[in-house]
Structure 1
Amino acid sequence: MKIKQLLSVFSFILAVSVNAQVTLPHYEPFNYTVGDTLPWNSFNSGDSIVIMSGNLSYSGLQSSTGNMIVMGEYGKDYQKQFTEQGTGTTTYYSFLLKVTDLGALDATGGYFAAFTESQATTYYGASLWLRLSGSAYNVGINARTTAAYTSWASGTYNVNDVLLIVVSYQLNSGSTNDVVKLWINPTNLGGTAPTENVTITNGGTDLIKIANVLLRQDSHTETPEFMNIDELRIGNSYADVTPAGTVGLSSLQNTEQFKVYPSCVRDWLSAESVKPIQSYKIISGIGIVCMEGKHSSNRLTLNLNSLTPGIYFAQFTVEDGTTVTRKIVKK
């Protein structure tokens, strides 16, 4: 009985520490147990956001740590609370995004990230949107959440592209005048903000405050089937959420420098790299490591015959520490 009571107390303390309000700037490396659900405050029903082994990287951004998450359509929504930000402040969030399967995303799309006033409200702002564009997708921003007021950045992005997303919300005095900005793949990191891709001045009801960041899993037409998010940051300046570091995304991300084939595999999967492969992992679509091992040459062949058909991620690490991930389909 005493052991059970101690375990219950420990579990409560752990839950409180994970979900407690954080101060800014805040860095979320998703350094939790692989396969567990994201330990933020959650609401609604459906699939959970799950911790997945590995990381995303972006050239010039501080090296990634911890793990990443996998999320998608028809699922629970998650919020992380931080110190309340009021009138006169500008709050930023950033993360690395990799859409791995568009699923049934349509040309209207929907939003999957935003700021919120509190955990007990649906007053969202600085919502980040995706929509289908041919076989690719667009990224857009909205001061609130009405689809008609979404402003879309020029250009399209492909499945498996890694994007650095930066969003800001400026809480101005007065009404209907808050300003929201979006940067996609900025090259100036850790300093003064470069020119944004999109700017919106809110024409509706402004937020009163900002106190949470939201990750949202909506319907199959509004949210891609699978996407990864890594290196989430919240801060009061552009520099807070874009810390510069050593180059993280090497030329190995180029398919000519690192080849994985076939993308649809029944038995044997092959990998070829210009640099020696040191280790590998085969990870399921919900973040479970199904196979892993060490290696020491430029070529690798794996027998995936024992795996259940479905979507997997083949992750390889080469001698300089660079991690390369490819989506595969097991027949």
Structure 2
Amino acid sequence: MKRILHLLQITLATLCFVFSVATVKAQPLLVENFDYEAGALLTAYGWTAHSVGGTQAIDVVVPGLTFDGYPLSNIGGAALVDNNGEDVHRKFTVQTSGKVYAAFMVQVNGSVDGYFLHFGGDPIGTTFRPKLFLVGTGDPFNFGLSVGSNTATPVDGGVFSFGKTYLLVMKYEIVEGEKNDIVSLYIIDGNIPDTEPETPSIGPLTDSAQSDINPGCIAMRQFNAGQKVIVDGIRVATSWADAVTAALGGDTFPPQFSAGFPKISGISSTGATLEVSLDEPGQVFYMVVSNDAAAPTTDEVIAGTPYGGVTPVAQGTISVAEAGTPYIASLTGLADKTDYDIFVVALDDETTPNKQAEPVKLELFTETQPDILFFADFETSLEPFTQVNITGDQEWKIATYNNNSYAYMNGYASGNKENTDWLISPAINLDTADNIKVSFRTAMNYKGPDIKVMISSDFTGIYTASDIGAATWTDITSEFELSTGGYNWQASGEFALSSYSGKVYIAFVYTSTTEGAAGWEVDDFKVTGFVKGTGIGQTTTPEFTLYPVPARTELFIDNAGKADRADLYDLSGRLHLSVANTGAARLRMEVGHLTPGIYLVRFTTADGPRVQKFVKD
């Protein structure tokens, strides 16, 4: 039977554009009309790049697409998905039951076999359900769908033309059990049916080899310069009516916090920093109460006054001018070593504001936070770590996925190879601080030996195979939690270095054999402790990351974007170095000429001066 009719159904779990929209009964989870200026990058408007960000970025073309009878037709621009480069997604509220529909207009002007749109989870990860394909390399072409494999089921007898706009509806149905969720695709090229047709254009499909997801984002994929796809008018909902036929009303949705927000940072003995980010402009209200107090309602948080016998410890408002941009408020005047609850709620900037139904609760315990003595995030290079190859041709290197870089080693190269490679830190001086701890993150996949974590107090600091072999190394791997597979990140936990003194080196040792070569990733290596007495405490909650501590020849300063300049003083108040900043996120100071000791860095910011200390070795 020819299943074009006037529609093709995609039961979609693969649309992974991540749209932050509230889940409200009988209303869509996400609406995206691409109503932006021509040439605008989607990553500037709530979309997140999860692969090769910035390369052949997806941008907006104007005008957008038109499809008679579709409520999102002919509004603003459209997304141009037409190259081999950046993939993007936008989030919506994660769905754990029922059905998820994604309706959108598509115009194809060049076809290459491959998938270009899908759902994903939150975070997006690498499990995409379902996948929507182009099938064929000429005009006419066909559409295809899969649950999650890279082999498409095409539309039976499907014949589609370049330059013509079609309305597609992808459907993902969550079913109790494992590896049994259902996907379908509807393709409409005429009148839009009021109700969901009994027979989809493709599906219903299941695949017991594919794991299930809880849809939380929709994504567009660029995989070949030959693909010429325009996508417009995306609406994600939990029913056919809300996704396909419902009239497009005004903004009736409350704002949503961006992923990872609200959050607490910069905790000190008497305060902390509240960070917020929304999916649209608006206002955020917050209230701090003792942890045994009754929770306030949304209206009580907004009022910021005593309620039910509870007097707030602190309260305030944060104005959010731009979607997706972090904003902060300083929480001050708190008691040391005390538990607090922080309630946060947001309104949008509509004439009649839409407000969130319930406050978000955060928990805070005030205490002095340790200094960061050493930190490596491997965003631009392996430095300050050093790679040493013992055997084999493969080496530690920098790799990037989902806009995050890390140290990576894999001994597979057209087969498993024998390798031994060390990734060694610079010297870490344990005499400069108390209660020193080390931590990091790992991710791994494939079969092969685990990496080892080694420590030495007699290594010479000469990074050669002979010097490594001459040193005494202690295996401390068992002190940490390592990733168990699937390239899933695992926090190591903290290991106290209290049984060591003086200078130590810490190394990650990778081995592979002809029997197995796993891929290992290491990130966010951090050493913390309390720098020994200076007579001068840090005058503010730490906002900048200074490393390595102790520093020998160079001092790096991360999160430096809000500092206009950095001035380095000794404890007698004598100025030694000054660095002006024009918005760079990282600053570098040459400190090799300084006498070993403790120094202060004074940052000039729009919010006033900030002072942090570091140790020169």
The amino acid of 1:203's aligned partner reads S
Distance of 1:231 and 1:68 partners within structure 2: 8
Aligned equivalent of 1:313: none
Aligned equivalent of 2:154: 152
Aligned equivalent of 1:51: 60
Which runs of no fewer than 5 residues in structure 2 stay unpaired? 1-17, 248-617
1:90 is the counterpart of 2:99 = yes
Contact 2:108 2:229 in 1 (8 A): yes
1:170 is the counterpart of 2:173 = yes
The offset of 1:34, in angstroms, is 1.6
Render the CA deviation track for 1:219-242: whole Å, top value 9, x for unaligned: 34xxx4322111111110111121
Contact 1:182 1:198 in 2 (8 A): yes
TM-score w.r.t. the length of structure 2 is 0.34
Equivalent of residue 75 in structure 1, options 64, 75, 85: 85
CA distance change for structure 1 residues 96 and 208 in 2, over 3 Å: closer, same or farther? Answer: closer
Distance of 1:28 and 1:134 partners within structure 2: 29
Aligned equivalent of 1:210: 215
Distance of 1:205 and 1:29 partners within structure 2: 32
Contact 1:116 1:214 in 2 (8 A): yes
1:65 is the counterpart of 2:75 = yes
Contact 1:75 1:217 in 2 (8 A): yes
Overall identity of the aligned pairs, in %: 25
Distance of 1:240 and 1:99 partners within structure 2: 25
Aligned equivalent of 2:32: 28
TM-score w.r.t. the length of structure 1 is 0.61
Distance of 1:161 and 1:50 partners within structure 2: 20
Distance of 2:159 and 2:137 partners within structure 1: 7
Aligned equivalent of 2:123: 119
CA distance change for structure 1 residues 188 and 82 in 2, over 3 Å: closer, same or farther? Answer: same
Contact 1:176 1:202 in 2 (8 A): yes
Aligned equivalent of 2:244: 242
Distance of 2:22 and 2:192 partners within structure 1: 22
- Larger C-alpha radius of gyration, 1 or 2? 2
Aligned equivalent of 1:298: none
CA distance change for structure 1 residues 135 and 33 in 2, over 3 Å: closer, same or farther? Answer: closer
Contact 2:127 2:213 in 1 (8 A): no
CA distance change for structure 1 residues 187 and 142 in 2, over 3 Å: closer, same or farther? Answer: same
The offset of 1:187, in angstroms, is 5.0
CA distance change for structure 1 residues 208 and 43 in 2, over 3 Å: closer, same or farther? Answer: closer
Aligned equivalent of 2:49: 42
Aligned equivalent of 1:135: 139
Where 1:141 maps in the other structure, the secondary structure is: strand
Aligned Cα root-mean-square deviation (Å): 2.2
Q: Which runs of 4+ in 1 moved over 4 A?
A: none
CA distance change for structure 1 residues 143 and 34 in 2, over 3 Å: closer, same or farther? Answer: same
Contact 1:98 1:162 in 2 (8 A): yes
Q: How many residues align?
A: 217
Greater RCO (Cα-Cα under 8 Å, separation 6 or more): 1
Which runs of no fewer than 5 residues in structure 1 stay unpaired? 1-18, 246-331
The amino acid of 1:22's aligned partner reads V
Contact 1:117 1:207 in 2 (8 A): no
The amino acid of 1:23's aligned partner reads A
Distance of 2:178 and 2:144 partners within structure 1: 23
CA distance change for structure 1 residues 172 and 186 in 2, over 3 Å: closer, same or farther? Answer: farther
CA distance change for structure 1 residues 178 and 188 in 2, over 3 Å: closer, same or farther? Answer: farther
Contact 1:142 1:151 in 2 (8 A): yes
Render the CA deviation track for 1:266-290: whole Å, top value 9, x for unaligned: xxxxxxxxxxxxxxxxxxxxxxxxx
